[in-house]
Amino acid sequence: MRPVIRQLDHVAIHVKDVERSCRFYEEVLMLERIPRPAFTFPGAWYRLGETQELHLIGDRTEEVHSHHRGNHFALLVDDIDVWEAHFRALHVPYLERRTRPDGAIQIYVVDPDGHYIELCSPPPKSKH
């Protein structure tokens, strides 16, 4: 039998200050916090879409290496315009929208630790 990967389960990122990061992910990205097992280290878990999760792991001491064309993670959204308006209302800086070669629209926001998060629309449906 051949091994099969079913889906991405979660993304884990290392953060310096868990509570500061929680404020960002809850207020800026509006993620739902979910229960986390009682690990011996600080952290928090969030729902991403229907089945995926974001795991914050505390006590980061190393530098973060993230960039919109390098290490980042992407969240598929319904309406980029709504997210841009939300970021502007909160005075949260973000990278100006870009259109990928396939027509998907992308914007990027940076969390308090320097992790880049892409918000993207799906590419338009082909008219063939």
- Reported as a single tens digit per residue, the pLDDT across 87-117 is 999 999 999 999 999 999 999 999 999 999 9
Residue 47: CB partners within 8 Å, gap ≥ 6? 31, 32, 34, 53, 54
The C-alpha atoms of residue 111 and residue 71 are separated, in whole angstroms, by: 13
Q: What angle do CA 109, 31, 41 make, to 5 degrees?
A: 95
| More confident of the two residues 56 and 60 | 56
Model confidence at 7, in pLDDT bands (50, 70, 90)? Answer: confident
Predicted confidence (pLDDT) at residue 63 exceeds the cutoff of 70: yes
Instruction: Quote the distance between the C-alpha of residue 6 and its chain's center.
Output: 21
Strand ranges (DSSP E) for the chain?
Answer: 10-14, 32-34, 43-48, 52-57, 72-76, 94-99, 105-110, 116-120
Q: Mean pLDDT over all residues of the chain?
A: 94
Mean per-residue pLDDT, 36-65 = 95
Mean per-residue pLDDT, 4-17 = 92
Q: Identify the structural domains of the chain with CATH numbers, from first to last.
A: 10-120 (3.10.180.10)
β-pairing, 105-110 with 116-120?
A: antiparallel
Handedness of CA 12, 17, 19, 22 (dihedral sign): negative
Site of tokens 């011996």: 40
Model confidence at 38, in pLDDT bands (50, 70, 90)? Answer: very high
pLDDT, position 128: 57
